[in-house]
Amino acid sequence: MVHGALGEFDPGNEGIGSYLERFDFYCEANGISAAERKKAVFLSTVGHGTFDIIKDLLHPVGLSDASLAEIRDSLLRHFKPQSVEIAERFKFFKRTQQSNESVSEYIATLRKMAKECNFGDYLNTALRDQLVCGMKDVKCQRELLSKSDLTLESALQQAKAMEAVQREASCFSGEVAAAANRVASGPQRTIRSAQPGHRDAPTSADSAKYGRSCWRCGNRHGGKCRFESAKCYACGRQGHISRCCRQQASSVHHQGVSGEQPDDDSGAVEPVLLENLSTPSQPVYVVNRAQATPDRGRPWIGSMPPGSELAGEDADLLV
């Protein structure tokens, strides 16, 4: 029974050294120990492209006469030329942690690059130094640089711990931001004015739901209007309130055209005769709320017949 699959050698995706290591483990897993049998297995699995290269490299020696060791050496010299130690160390010490690279991935890359640097006993020190100097977390880097007894193991342990803390903090910040966005995008409440008698303007949702304003009260609502039986204080008729009175609106328009309306900026008290609240000899003085300013305080109400009361939606017509 064959264990595992070795596959053909692909120079574009794998180094020759790694492939030869995998071949040794493949032979060990399947109990292949004889040198001639190993050579036969290797030449049959290496692939036709590499097979032709081996023949060219060994010429004029034939494959039958060459040993497995000679075949391995020829492949190593062809696919893995001798590296320049100083150049490999230069690349090692220039390698920094990438933005999307974890600490574990970074140290694994450094270990792989260190194979060509021939560090010997200096290996762990070189890995520690480059791990600290090349990491992207500046805060963690400063803490590690302040330690006098730092080793590769302790530096790696602390760097991974701080990375985990930052990852959890980022997740928590993301949840908080998402919750804040949900609250911000939720239904908006209308803030009522502190002025007495103030009515909120109908929202777009109300307009879409109820359509046009009611001709009796001016609001948008569904169903029967509660002012259907109300008596208008402007014209005395039943079925609407004074702010929707067409007769009163016509009278006001007529006054503005004839020039009898006081100036908007004058702040003057305007006499308006309300049939249900005053007598011809005692007009009720009201102030237009649009002309009142905060520094004038609460507008003064002129003479009003005793016992006169305002009710319902008309209560805000007088200030």
Quote the CA–CA distance of 30 and 45 in Å, as a whole number.
14
Q: Please tell us whether the domain made up of 85-172 is placed in CATH 1.10.8.
A: no
Q: Where are the domains positioned within the chain? A: 16-79, 85-172, 219-261, 265-305
Q: Which residues of the chain have pLDDT under 50?
A: 190-204, 206-207, 256-282, 284-319
| DSSP one-letter code for 270 | E
What are the Cα distances from residue 306, in Å, to 52, 105, 284, 300, 310?
A: 120, 90, 11, 17, 12
Alpha helices in 212-260 (DSSP H): 246-258
Asked if 134 and 106 count as a contact pair (C-beta separation under 8 A), the reply is yes
pLDDT digits (tens, 9 = 90+) for 53-92: 999 999 999 988 999 999 999 998 898 777 788 999 999 9
Residues 6+ apart with CB under 8 A from 313: 217, 227, 230, 241, 243
pLDDT score, position 319: 36
pLDDT score, position 119: 94
Asked if 295 and 269 count as a contact pair (C-beta separation under 8 A), the reply is no
pLDDT score, position 229: 84
pLDDT score, position 281: 46
What are the Cα distances from residue 197, in Å, to 162, 217, 239, 243, 318?
A: 60, 14, 21, 13, 9
Asked if 27 and 38 count as a contact pair (C-beta separation under 8 A), the reply is yes
